[in-house]
């Protein structure tokens, strides 16, 4: 039995599913834009089942995308290049 909810809310979101092939790998991502995370997007790597809350500032942090999405540094560079075009 649940005694206490921290929150239980519903929200309309904009979800984009994208699959692309780079020089190092194939990428299957779901990008969910919502007002929940201070303007950042929830990015899911559907191949590894890893996800992160990512904003433009996070794309500049060295190693963050590789760590949070379970990618090699080369793969992360390709994903960062793509995300930098859609996450502002």
Is the model's pTM score more than 0.75? yes
Domain boundaries, the chain: 14-86
Q: Is 74 within 8 Å of 64 (Cβ atoms)?
A: no
Low-confidence residues in the chain, pLDDT < 70: none
Residue 25 to residue 75: CA distance in whole angstroms: 7
Got the DSSP string for 56-88?
A: HHHHTSTTHHHHHHT--HHHHHHHHHHHHHH--
Residue 78, pLDDT score: 97
Residue 88, pLDDT score: 81
Encoded tokens for 13: 């979101």
């Amino acid at each position: 039995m649940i005694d206490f909810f921290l929150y239980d809310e519903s929200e309309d979101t904009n979800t984009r599913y994208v699959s692309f092939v780079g020089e190092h790998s194939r990428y299957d991502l779901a990008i969910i834009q919502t007002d929940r995370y201070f303007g950042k997007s929830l990015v899911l790597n559907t191949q590894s089942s890893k996800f992160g809350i990512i904003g433009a500032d996070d794309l500049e942090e060295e190693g963050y995308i590789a760590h949070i999405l379970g990618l090699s540094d080369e793969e992360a560079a390709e994903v960062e290049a793509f995300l930098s075009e859609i996450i502002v």
